[in-house]
Amino acid sequence: MIELSPVERQALRARAHHLTPLVIIGDDGLKPSVLREISLALTSHELIKVRVVGDDREARQEIYQTICSELNAAPVQSIGKLLVLFRPKPEDKKAAAKPRKPRGPRKTKKQLGARVELGK
């Protein structure tokens, strides 16, 4: 599980304020398919909200801890039935290994010395 400083947690809570829940955990609880969906959402979005259906507060907290430990995510905030999770995006290995050179303006055919033939 990732640990966050209070300043980081506050910034993430502010970013998550306008998010809508991407995953909803129903009455069946936390299944492997639900964990997989949460992992996919974290991979693509970094910061997500999860809604847990049910009135048992202790069960919600247990689900929250299980998700964080299983998926190596950081618990950001838990308000009622909403859970906010954060996991940094993995670095793209290809992009990190080979930086792209900046391209200049494109050259026209005249500048390249090619003949421009019209109508043939």
Q: Read off the pTM.
A: 0.73
User: What secondary structure, in 3-state letters, does 35-103 show?
Assistant: HHHHHHHHHHHCEEEEEECCCCHHHHHHHHHHHHHHHCCEEEEEECCEEEEECCCCCCHHHHHCCCCCC
pLDDT(117) > 80 = no
Domains in the chain (CATH in brackets) are 6-90 (3.30.110.60)
Ramachandran quadrant class, 76 (left: phi over 0; alpha: psi -120 to 50; beta: rest): alpha
The arithmetic mean of pLDDT across residues 2-31, rounded, is 94
Q: What pLDDT does 106 receive?
A: 74
